[in-house]
Structures are given as structure tokens and as C-alpha cells.
Chains A and B, each alone.
Chain A
Amino acid sequence: MKVSLNQKILSRNEECAQKNKAFFVEHGVLCLNFISSPGSGKTTTIARTIRDLKDKLKIGVIEGDIKTDTDAQKIRAAGADAIQIETRGACHLSAEQVYNAIKALDAETKDVVIIENVGNLVCPSAFDLGENSRVVMLSVPEGDDKPVKYPGTFAGAEVVLINKIDLMEHIEFNLERVLADIRVVNPNAKIFQVSAATGEGLDQWYEWLLKRAGRSDD
């Protein structure tokens, strides 16, 4: 006997993601889901963004890591509220974890909630967290083959941040190739070349962020 279901497999996650989405819409909060490999500079970029925009945006951060709260500490040191989720082995965050973190963060009092997902370019992209926008990061030392190796992840990004651009003169990195590979799977992605260490290129990222959060001057 065959039973036809055609049921969405991650429906529980999706139902919870819809609740999160509704929350962000209701409270006019912009939620960004940051996805990248470990070590690409997510935390450093988020911390610098918090410092540089402290007079313009109230940012709260949800940190996902397998273990430790070191990232949340770095965010708090930058002057923002942070909730750490320890996934204890899980390689991605789920919508339910984010739902609980939203409450703990008093997310309705923020302009922007940034979710820093577990460092991993594969699994996080399969789990909608209810975010308004996905930001995928890659960094120059990781190599220029990331978009072609992980096309599904780059396909879902509204923004791609290419970080550690200051290291390009020291490392063989074909920027043209990276840009072309992203364009193939995601022709509409906004791509910013930045260095969270030197500050290079961050003004364009900030301009996008302020505009997307509805806090732009123009």
C-alpha cells in the first residue's frame, strides 16, 4: 500500500521560521542571517559594524557556535547585546533556537538583529530562520573557488561580503573569477569587497545596511 504525502520535510523548522518572520515584520526589525566558513571574519565584521554604526543603528546579535560564548563576549565588548546559542555538535542553527533567542534578546527593541550562524558553508543554507536577508561571506585566504564549490549557499544570498580584501596582494586570488562565479548562480547579489581589519570598503556595506534597515538619510 502506497501513501502519497508530498509533505515538506523540514516543515517544523519552516513553521517556526514563519513565526520569526512575522515577529520581525510586526516590530519593523531587519534580521540578517550571516553564513560563512569558520574563520572568514564574521564576528570581526559584525563587531566593527556595531562600533562604526553605534550612533545610527541599534543592533542585537544572536551567536551560533558549537561550543563557547567567546563570540558573544566579543560582540558585547563592541557595545551590543548578544545571545549565545551553543549547538553542542549541530552544524547549523534552527528556527526554534532563534525563536527562543529573539525573546532573550528583547529583539523588538532593536533596529537590526544579526544572526551569526555556525561556521559552515553547507548546512545552514538549508534552514530558514525567518530572516529578511542572507549575508554570505567569504574571505580572500579561503581561496577563489568557494562560490563554485558551494553554489547553493551563494544562490540564496542577498549580499556577499568578500572579506580580508587587504590580503589580496599577498595571496593568489582571482577576484574576477569569484565575481563571475557568484553572478552565475545569483545575478542579483549585492557584492561588497571589504576588510574588517583595515576598514576598506565597509562604507558601501554600511550604506546598504542603513538603507535596508530604513535608517538611511536619503
Chain B
Amino acid sequence: MHETVVAESILKTILENARQTGAKPVSAIISCGQFNVLNDEVMSFAFETAAAGTFCEGMTLTVKHIPMRATCKQCKTTFEFDIYHPVCKQCESGEFDFEPDAPLLLEEIEFEENE
């Protein structure tokens, strides 16, 4: 359910940017990591609800899931870590060193072209 807070936070930033540019926002891209994960359906619904009746109504929101890289402590292979299937793809061991997980980011907003 933290998607609701994320949706409100994104909406606020998009509305601020829309005010500055004077153009209507049509879409936005956000990204998240593997540990701080967002559910796509819940996120879309939360954003749709938050945006209803605002300048952002009807916008599409895309969630990008950024993989996290892990290195196996046994065979030293580096690979994209799947948090729901946490075994080394090479030797199937379960001990890793992790690279930092990606933060929650509002990457990009697309606005309608002004005539």
C-alpha cells in the first residue's frame, strides 16, 4: 500500500513541473529496485486515483524495475539477482555480495508539444 504515498509524491512533482512548463503532462517513467519494490497494477491504480480531477488525469505511468547485481561468494560469477529465486545461476550456491539496490526515482515526464 505504500504505492499510495508514492503516487501522491509523484503527482505533486509532476504538477509542479507542469506549472513551470505550462504544458499538459501525458506520461511519466518511474523506477525502483529489487528490495524497495512497487507492484505495477497497484501503482497504476494508485496513480490513476490520485490524478483524477487534476491536470494529470489520464496520464500513463510506467514502472521500470532495475535489476540488482550480485556476485556469488563461491564461484565469483556476477549476475542479475532475482530476489524471489535467490540462487547463483552458475553454481546454485546461496551466498552473495550485493551491489547497492536502485532507489525509487521519478526518471522522466513527457509533456504535450506546445503549438
Contacts and interface: CB of A to CB of B under 8 A. Distances in A.
A135 to B, nearest CB: 17
Interface string B1-28: 1100110011001000100010100000
A5 B104 contact: no
Interface of A: 1-12, 90-92, 94, 122-123, 125-127, 151-152, 155-156, 180, 183-185, 187
A128 to B, nearest CB: 10
Interface of B: 1-2, 5-6, 9-10, 13, 17, 21, 23, 30, 34-37, 83-84, 86, 94-96, 103-114
Contacts of B35: 125, 151-152, 155-156
Contact of B96 (A3, A180, A184): A184
Contact of B95 (A1, A151, A184): A184
16 contacts: A2-B109, A3-B108, A5-B17, A6-B106, A6-B107, A8-B104, A9-B9, A9-B106, A91-B2, A122-B1, A125-B35, A125-B36, A126-B36, A151-B35, A152-B35, A185-B86
Nearest to A155: B35
Given A9-B106, A126-B104, A3 B94 contact: no
* Chain A interface main SS type: mixed
B21 A3 contact: yes
Given A1-B114, A152-B34, 8 more contacts: A1-B23, A5-B109, A8-B103, A8-B105, A10-B9, A12-B9, A126-B36, A152-B36
Given A2-B108, A2-B110, A180-B94, A9 B17 contact: no
Nearest to B107: A6
